[in-house]
Amino acid sequence: MPLIRAGAVVLDDQVCRPGWLEITGARILACGAGEPPAPPDRDFPDCLVVPGYIDMHVHGGGGASYLDAEQIDEAAQFHRCHGTTTTLASLVTAAPDTLIAGVRALAEATRSGTVAGIHLEGPWLATARCGAHDPTQMRDPEPGEVDDVLAAGEGTIRMVTLAPERPGAGEAIRRFVDAGVVVAVGHTDATYEQTQQAIALGATVGTHLFNAMPPLHHREPGPALALLESPAVTVELIPDGVHVHPAAVHAVVRAAGPDRVAVITDAIAAAGCEDGAYRLGAVQVDVRAGVARVHATSTIAGSTATMDQLFRTISRLGPDADAALVAAVQMTSATPARALGLGRVGALQAGYDANLVVLDRELRVAAVMAQGAWR
């Protein structure tokens, strides 16, 4: 039963200096503020320990993609090294056969514990807000395809992003919610009222808020305001300095609170790699100066970010350093865990999975533990 001590540990929404955790197998047996009850097996005197990051929207990284069955393990391992101990692997819009094959591959990866489940970002999206998705494969959510996808996932699909203005979207939202799937509104041209209706039907997440949706307008507030003002909705943000202006990030966190904001990477295979040509599904992507865009356009195509990078950014959101750290932990672990209905992850407390990240003075990853094993 390893005993871990650190100069600081985030426990119960506060920064404890020092703090400790006792691990047994894959679980946290006990934890607390102050000095540990016995000499520690591992001591990190100049480090901060936080819960393992939870990325609920990511397509790949380290040159590997969750869209390729043979690269799933590699993509997950890349992000694990950056502190992401719980991953919801995202699939983009694709033809029906390709979509089903991708779901089946990730269902197997979910059962093996490589990822925590599947996020379907498409194909039931708005062509006008396609972003880096293939617009020729976007379609209405027909009941038959919805049932086929759910059957292929065998309970591993945790979230679906769709455009609520699509014909049949209301019925699809009901079907997914009944199946225990979180429904997210995104890549949409929906009105404020259509978004409200989707929320009333059970949608509880806003996919990468502001991106791939109409901008907020004072006479046509659109989906962004409807998502922000509903206390039942968790909004995703990509605070990489590219997708959302830092001032907008601050405003959203102040308005919604850290308990309703989930930081995501939306990373593609290019994360952690050099600039160059990549693919996101059927779409060619160019990465220049670390920014991914659809080939020969200005359209952003996911990100090259990692969760540790984004944690460093959002941990500087306020003048109170400890409060900012606690908020960063909420947005990178506790909030996404709650939004997805994941148990035993998202916090450091007795009975939870032993998923943690050790950060040095610059908040860079010094060590990662997942399911009680150092990675």
Q: Is 302 annotated as a binding residue?
A: yes
String of DSSP letters for 135-170: GGG-----HHHHHHHHHHHTT-EEEEEE-TTSTTHH
Task: Please state, in angstroms and rounded to a whole number, the distance separating the CA atoms of residues 10 and 50.
Answer: 6
Task: Please state, in angstroms and rounded to a whole number, the distance separating the CA atoms of residues 120 and 123.
Answer: 8
Q: Is 301 annotated as a binding residue?
A: yes
Q: What is the CA radius of gyration of the chain?
A: 20
Q: Is 243 annotated as a binding residue?
A: yes
Residue 48's closest CA among 246, 312, 318, 295?
Answer: 312
Q: What separation in angstroms does the CA of 349 have from each of 13, 129, 343?
A: 11, 41, 12
Q: Is 208 annotated as a binding residue?
A: yes
Q: Is 266 a catalytic residue?
A: yes
Q: Is 187 annotated as a binding residue?
A: yes
Q: Please say whether the beta carbons of 125 and 86 come within 8 A.
A: no
Q: Is 219 annotated as a binding residue?
A: yes
Q: What separation in angstroms does the CA of 130 have from each of 163, 187, 189, 217, 283?
A: 10, 6, 10, 20, 11
Q: What separation in angstroms does the CA of 132 have from each of 17, 69, 121, 303, 331?
A: 44, 21, 11, 11, 25
Q: In sequence order, what are the residues at sequence separation of 6 or more whose Cβ sits closer than 8 angstroms to the Cβ of residue 103?
A: 91, 118, 120, 149, 152, 153, 156, 157
Catalytic residue among 240, 266, 308, 353: 266
The burial class, CB within 10 Å (0-12 / 13-18 / 19+), for 257 is middle
Q: Is 355 annotated as a binding residue?
A: no
Q: In sequence order, what are the residues at sequence separation of 6 or more whose Cβ sits closer than 8 angstroms to the Cβ of residue 98?
A: none
Task: Please state, in angstroms and rounded to a whole number, the distance separating the CA atoms of residues 161 and 169.
Answer: 11
Known binding-site positions for Zn(2+): 121, 187, 208
Binding residues, as ranges, are: 121, 132, 187, 208, 211-212, 219, 243, 300-302
Annotated binding site for substrate: 132, 211-212, 219, 243, 300-302
Catalytic residues: 266
